[in-house]
């Protein structure tokens, strides 16, 4: 009977301490989401800031712009 009480107390302490440690950690900074665009030629999704824009279409490389002309 004593063993069961000691196990229950140990489990309770484990849960309480685990919750306190989780709450005390600084939360990760909010990730800034960036707009993704699709290459008009191959369909690859890339960040808009890394894409090459030609008229209204986005491309992943200069070669794909030339291939579509």
pLDDT of residue 33: 82
Cβ-Cβ contacts under 8 Å for 39 (sequence gap 6 or more)? 45, 46, 51, 58, 59, 60, 61, 64
Domain ranges of the chain: 36-68
- Tens digits of per-residue pLDDT, 4-47? 999 999 999 999 998 888 876 666 666 678 899 999 999 999 99
- Tens digits of per-residue pLDDT, 47-66? 999 999 998 999 999 999 99
Contacts by residues 32-41 (CB-CB < 8 Å, ≥ 24 positions apart): 39/64, 40/64, 40/68, 41/65, 41/67, 41/68
DSSP 26: P
* SS3 (DSSP) at 33: coil
pLDDT of residue 32: 73
pLDDT of residue 22: 80
Taking the CB of residue 60, how many other CB atoms lie within 10 A of it? 20
């Amino acid at each position: 009977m004593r063993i069961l009480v000691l196990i229950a107390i140990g489990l309770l302490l484990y849960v309480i301490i685990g919750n306190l440690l989780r709450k005390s950690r600084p939360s990760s900074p909010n990730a800034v989401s960036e707009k993704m665009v699709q290459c008009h030629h191959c369909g690859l999704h890339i960040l808009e800031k890394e894409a090459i824009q030609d008229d209204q279409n986005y491309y992943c490389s200069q070669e794909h712009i030339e291939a579509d002309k």
